[in-house]
Structure 1
Amino acid sequence: MVFLSSFTLPDEDAEWDFFIKQKSRAYSTYYPFQVFPQKHVPQLTFEPITIFYGDNGSGKSTLLNVIAEKLKLARGTLYNRSSFEEDYLALCDFALGAPVPAGSAVISSDEVFDAMLSTRALNQQIDRRRDQMFDDYLDNKFATFQYHDLSDFDALKKVLEARRKTQSRYVRDNLAKNAREFSNGESALQFFKEKLQDERLYLLDEPENSLSPANQQQLASDLTDRARFFGNQFVIATHSPFLLALPHAKIYDLDRVPVAPARWQDLPEVQTYAQFFADHASEFRKEPPHD
């Protein structure tokens, strides 16, 4: 599915027109102005999966955020908007292949990391509560309790429960289950499985962060299936060779001037990986066992 069909950034002339209208020259930066003109970014056209590739500082995250703000997509973490954001967005333009569904969002690696930290904090609270529950069990099990009236009913229930159960069973039955059932990488995968809904547009900023190579491959498979079978469109900023190799993805190389589509196999970072494994190819050959 293609919701976002094309996006156009202001060219050098449009940015220059903006600057000559400014009465003050007191600002040291006019971000996001002055980021893209020298790159000669063409009108960007989108497929069900489109990828922005580039080295650190290439502007891929900035571009993703500009698109997200222009489309008014939901976001789960704060975004540091500059004083000139609205002026810049006013000069951007886009075309839709279909209306952008409610619930479409931009998801940053910070949001994934915050979700993992929230889970960790919840678990720490549960762990502290578990220690309290151990003491609670012993207090109730060996209490010299006397029932007087209905106001004592809840206390009586706890005493009887403690005397009827083992300590571990008492704690398990009275304590929320620990939310940390996954490693960090597995938690990140779980975040995407719960967050991504069918028939939505999602802008993903370096979603491979916190993921091992195996989990990056799993994420790539999940995104491919979602784009193919569940009506999702993805625009992704990434370095990951596993995501860059997504089938039928359109890749814009933001390190190239002018910016242009590229094959994933030709990208410098992928070539670096390929050369590394080529140099060590002999080390991967299995030696026959010695007698």
Structure 2
Amino acid sequence: MKEIQFTDWPQDSIRYPFNLPVFQGLPNIRFERPVTFFVGENGSGKSTLLEAIAKCAGFNAEGGSRYNVFSTANTESSLDDHIRLSWLPKVTRGFFLRAESFFNFASYIDTLERECPTGYTAYGGKSLHQQSHGESFLSLFTHRFRGRGKALYLLDEPEAALSPARQLALLRVIWEHEQSGQAQFIIATHSPILLGYPNGQIFNFDTSPLSHIRYEETEHYFITKQFLLNRQGMLRELFESEE
């Protein structure tokens, strides 16, 4: 995917997500690198835009690929009706990982396995529910993210179940796919480890409109660095501020 174009944008809308500052005056978003990160505070629009991209790409809004058809709750926004994806060429293969609904996806895969046993070959050889949360995520990344042809991988807060060591393992998975020249990743994250991926494009959702930001300029990097360098001082200031 090369670009997102915003079309037929509701004027003076007070409805979410059209009222979010990040989208105001934003005609398009261009993706210039194989790996892109969305960063920003909770509620800034990262996950909402990622979900809209997933729906436009034909993926299940609750997670999975275009072939995973299940729904447990209709919570998605209508943002996908107001964006257009520009492809060169169009990609129909890939996966949308949505951490908050991953349990539902795992249950759906169990249902498919009962109907047509495959030995969970795409998920490490056993039910995702029979693995720890972190193990199931990593099984998905290492076994499901395969195949020939170009693929689009959309990851919404993948660090939610991953230890720091396994976040590094995910970086290795992303790097291997990038070396093949066949994959594009768009990742919404709060993890300073994932954001440290070399040559990744980072979009800051805390500005109006959306803007690029360097890794060292992100709040995630700055706060984590300050905490590691001066943990006692930061904790003292935090706990004593109300006295």
Deviations 1:216-265 (A, max 9, x none): 11111111211222611111111111111111110000012332111111
Classify 1:267/1:8 alpha carbon distance in 2 versus 1 (closer, same or farther; 3 Å). same
> 1:89, CA displacement in angstroms?
3.5
Partner Cα distance (2:187, 2:197) in 1: 11
> 1:34, CA displacement in angstroms?
1.9
The letter for the 1-side match of 2:225 is A
1:244 aligns with 2:195: yes
Match of 1:188 in 2: 137
Higher Rg of the two aligned structures: 1
Within 5 Å, which residues of 2 pair with 1:98-113?
A: 98-101=89-92, 103-113=93-103
Alignment match of 2:36 (pick from 50, 53, 56):
50
1:34 aligns with 2:19: yes
Contact 1:109 1:206 in 2 (8 A): yes
The letter for the 1-side match of 2:16 is Y
Match of 2:236 in 1: none
Match of 2:227 in 1: 276
Partner Cα distance (2:157, 2:23) in 1: 24
Alignment match of 1:235 (pick from 178, 186, 193):
186
Root-mean-square deviation over aligned CA pairs = 3.0
Match of 1:72 in 2: 58
Classify 1:43/1:217 alpha carbon distance in 2 versus 1 (closer, same or farther; 3 Å). same
Partner Cα distance (2:165, 2:95) in 1: 26
Structure 2 unaligned spans of 5+: 65-69, 111-124, 233-243
Structure 1 unaligned spans of 5+: 20-28, 121-176, 282-291
Partner Cα distance (2:53, 2:152) in 1: 12
Kindly indicate which of the two structures has a greater share of residues assigned to helix.
1
Deviations 1:70-123 (A, max 9, x none): 2323443645234xx2xx54432231121113x323220134344667899xxx
Q: TM-score, normalised by structure 1?
A: 0.61
- % same residue: 31
Contact 2:22 2:208 in 1 (8 A): no
Size of the alignment, in residue pairs?
A: 205
